[in-house]
Structure 1
């Protein structure tokens, strides 16, 4: 249990850093500054990569085991999997809008800013809900066998931004996040 829950909690801490970096870039966009479009694109690629492809499926596995172990508690968490799908859709829509803007399409600035801020707020709300509902329920209800089953399916995922081997694509973004944390 501790390894998987540690990974999920750590992912949330890292996602907070990513969302903070995105909010800084959106703030520059909103105040007539010049955001770092490479960072915005890198952030969105990361969110569509690791959280969507690794983190949310792990939470879905935890939720699946919880439904088997304690259906009454799991009923209170209905919607977690649907929320993951909706977050991915919202992030894709924002990424597509940013891509269109980067290709020179004239899009209303306030619309882009609102879209980005809304995505960030929804991601934060989602993480807070998981930390107060799913995580405590999993810690209290799942057995060592349940955690072992999840670990078997999970394997050993590597975070491409915060893991031991930062992917080259994310190197500048990683440096920016580390510098902003030091300030």
Structure 2
């Protein structure tokens, strides 16, 4: 793992965990994040559902989002995680989080966010994107995402997993390497 900063429970709250499964579109973020949620009880959210209608329309038409369009979306995601933290709930979020500045903004939500970067061959990911149905993100935007992708820095808490692994292996690796407890209560609480 890169940096390892865990939140403490000095404020009297039960410690929570917050995980962002990140990577370019088609890497398998939603599948892996849902799998982590099912295995651990962390509260799941899909970042795509937080996009404005104008952002979705823009991407659907093949136009990549710029930072100005992404910032309100990222703030909403950080606020969602912070609200769950205030409730004492742990979270797992499927979110591209492509740039360090985007991850910095997400870290302004709850304390101690871990990132799971699903990374691999652009050809494998492009193939997945062309085969999936019902998603607004066209495969043509993959190049714009890979162009702005910034890998996790050594001071960022997280890990990198190879997208060529089967989804169940990615879920197990993320849970084990992050030290997440399994079989937690269905309310989404996660013991540290």
TM-score (norm 1): 0.29
Q: Name the structure with the higher strand share.
A: 2
Q: Name the structure with the higher helix share.
A: 1
Larger Rg: 1
Q: Which has the higher contact order (CA 8 A, sep 6+)?
A: 2
